[in-house]
Structure 1
Amino acid sequence: MTMRALSFGAMAHAYERFRPGYPVELLDLVLAYARRPVRTALEIGAGTGKATRLFAERGVSVTATEPDEAMLAELRKHVPAGVKTERAAFEELPLGKRYGLVYAAAALHWTNPAGRWPRMAALLEPGGVFASFGGPIRLADLELAQAVQKAQVPFLDTDEIPSPDGTLPEQAMQWPGTELQQSEWFTDVRQAEIERRLTMTAREYMDHLSTISAYLILSATDREQVFRQIREVLPAAVELNADLTVHLARLRPQE
């Protein structure tokens, strides 16, 4: 998992170009849940800053943290001038400052589970909010998805990230909501879905796959071969399901 977590830097520019951004509905959902103005936010694993922009452009003072210098350099090209940046993994962040919101955009699964929630709680102000959001981008055509899966099988079983705690896909509450519900540090855990449908050309979809960690850690030869085989089964354009699963939780008042 660590190898996959640190595989993105070489593709920072492609990540910025070919990963979709986040809709304003997500921002509205998080801010409504907070039930009070969110003035400061800490972002974990900010990547190239797609979620950073969403919050910063609404006036939130965002501190974007990212362990990969190449990703952070790409982020700095695109975010508003007031965004603070720090090269650090979640586990390295100092605990002296607290924020009204701590959030992770498709990045929480890269953090170390040991001590994750007490550390998260230590970064939040009293009454502060935690948010995590993301989700796989899947081909909407099931037959096409099966053909692509067959093409990639010689090289990898799946390009998706498995649930960190083994939660099954059919379970109502998904990770990290499952962990948050068990945490002594958080309360009022909620899960929501935001529907997204995307259309990409075959070339754009292949460029998108080039930013997925499961392919990035393959050898150059294997990556070239699997991409060639996938490209052969694609039509000129593809429809994608890119729904976002959002988890929200509130810091539990300390007695």
Structure 2
Amino acid sequence: MEHDARRQLASSFGAAAADYAEHRPDYSPAAVRWALAAAPSPRVLDLGAGTGKLTGTLAALGVDVVAVEPDPAMLAELRRALPGVRALAGRAEAIPLPDASVDAVLAGNALHWFDLAVAGPELARVLAPGGVLAGLWNVLDDRVGWVAGLERISGSAVIGPRDTFSSWRAATAGLAARFGAREQAEFPHGQRRTAESLVATLATRAGVLVMPALEREATLGRIRAHLADMSGEFVLPLLTGVLRVRTP
């Protein structure tokens, strides 16, 4: 049942692909540069690329990037937003690239969805010797009072342990342990939001997408009430957390 629930969560995003593309944040360029700093050269695979949030940051930095995404609706949004980027259908457990063809594999808010027992050998296959594997997560800065309150009112289905500054390191540290020594770092980031667009962002979380309709509306209603005093546009305080592993 745990495996089935995880699969349901992982496959939930396609139904909200357009909203995901509109409302999810991009990634801190400084975080991406740090993730790639140990790579021998910038041939990069964005794995589980979704609608291209991380792909776009990589492309803006002038990186030679190929994107791989399993969900057709998410992949269509990526191709629409970034027509100049090579974007392939595929998944972490069956990567449609040749052996030793990339120097780095990056995954934006995606590494935790991979079945690493199967994906691990695939990652090792496509990475050139001395390559880098990095997971990136945009996390809420819960050191800010109203953000900590938002976390409490939203519940763990909306804001889980990988989604906040105070807990993301512990929640993700074991994901890539099999690949060797790992490094973790956070980089300041932010996203301009209004109360309503922040609700729309949170509505694209997997835990919300799989909720029964009545529970979803009740949850989003509590969040709206919490944000009622947030008028106009504001910056949602984020950090991009990076888990970086150098392969042998």
Shorter-chain TM-score range = 0.7 to 0.9
SS at 1:85's partner residue? strand
Residue number in structure 1 paired with 2:10? 5
**TM-score under structure 2 length normalisation:** 0.83
CA distance in 2, matches of 1:47, 1:103: 12
Q: Distance in 2 between matches of 1:31 and 1:103?
A: 9
Distance 1:133 1:207 in 2: 22
8 A contact 2:150–2:226 mirrored in 1? yes
Q: Which has the higher helix share?
A: 2
Matched with 1:135 is 138
In the alignment, which residue of structure 2 is the partner of 1:193? 186
* Percentage of pairs with the same residue: 32
Partners of 1:122 and 1:197 lie apart in 2 by 35
- How many matched pairs? 236
Instruction: Kindly indicate whether residue 30 of structure 2 is the aligned counterpart of residue 25 of structure 1.
Output: yes
Runs (5+) with no aligned partner, structure 1:
164-168
| Deviation (angstroms), 1:148 | 6.3
**Structure 2: how far apart are the matches of 1:162 and 1:113?**
19
The Cα shift of 1:231 comes to 1.0
Contact 2:36 2:104 in 1 (8 A): no
Where does residue 220 of structure 1 map in the other structure? 213
Q: CA–CA distance in 2 between the matches of 1:139 and 1:204?
A: 19
Rounded Cα–Cα distance in structure 2 between residues aligned with 1:161 and 1:120 = 26
Amino acid aligned to 2:95: L
Give the Å deviation of 1:240.
3.1
Corresponding letter in the other structure for 2:237? N
Give 1:170 shift. Answer: 6.3
Equivalent residue runs for 1:177-188 within 5 Å: 177-180=173-176, 182-183=177-178, 185-187=179-181
Q: CA deviation at 1:243?
A: 1.1
State yes or no: 1:204 paired with 2:201: no
Question: Aligned AA for 2:32?
Answer: L
**Residue type of the alignment partner of 2:230:** A
Match of 1:236 among 221, 230, 247: 230
- What is the DSSP-based 3-state SS (H/G/I as helix, E as strand, rest coil) of the residue aligned with 1:97? coil
Distance 1:178 1:233, change over 3 A: closer
Contact persistence 1:12–1:48 (CA under 8 A): yes
Match of 1:44 among 42, 47, 52: 47
The amino acid of 2:159's aligned partner reads E
CA change 1:233–1:95 in 2 (3 A) is closer
Are the aligned partners of 2:31 and 2:186 in contact in 1 as well (CA < 8 Å)? no
Post-superposition CA distance 1:234-254 (Å, at most 9, x none)? 1234653311111112111xx
Q: Residues 200-243 of structure 1: CA distance to partner in whole angstroms, max 9, x if unpaired?
A: 21111111111111111012222122212321231234653311
Greater Rg by CA: 1
C-alpha distance 110-233 of structure 1, shift in aligned 2 (>3 A): same
- Whether 1:247 aligns to 2:243 is yes
The answer to whether structure 1 residue 91 and structure 2 residue 93 are counterparts is yes
Q: Tell me how far apart the structure 2 counterparts of residues 248 and 147 of structure 1 sit (CA, whole Å).
A: 29
Helix, strand or coil at the partner of 2:75: helix
Unaligned runs of 5+ in 2: 1-5
| Aligned-partner SS, 1:21 | coil
Q: Are residues 147 and 208 of structure 1, via their aligned partners in 2, closer, same or farther at CA, if it must alter by over 3 Å? A: closer
Q: Supply the distance in 2 between the matched residues of 1:61 and 1:239 (Cα, whole angstroms).
A: 31
Q: What is the CA deviation profile of residues 117-169 of structure 1, one whole-angstrom value per residue up to 9, with x for unaligned ones?
A: 3332122011111111103335665366436634x4xxx54423446xxxxx6
Aligned CA-pair RMSD: 2.6
- Give the alignment of 1:64-213 within 5 angstroms: 64-81=67-84, 83-94=85-96, 96-98=98-100, 99-137=102-140, 141-142=144-145, 145-146=148-149, 149-150=152-153, 152=154, 157-162=156-161, 174=170, 176-180=172-176, 182-183=177-178, 185-187=179-181, 189-213=182-206
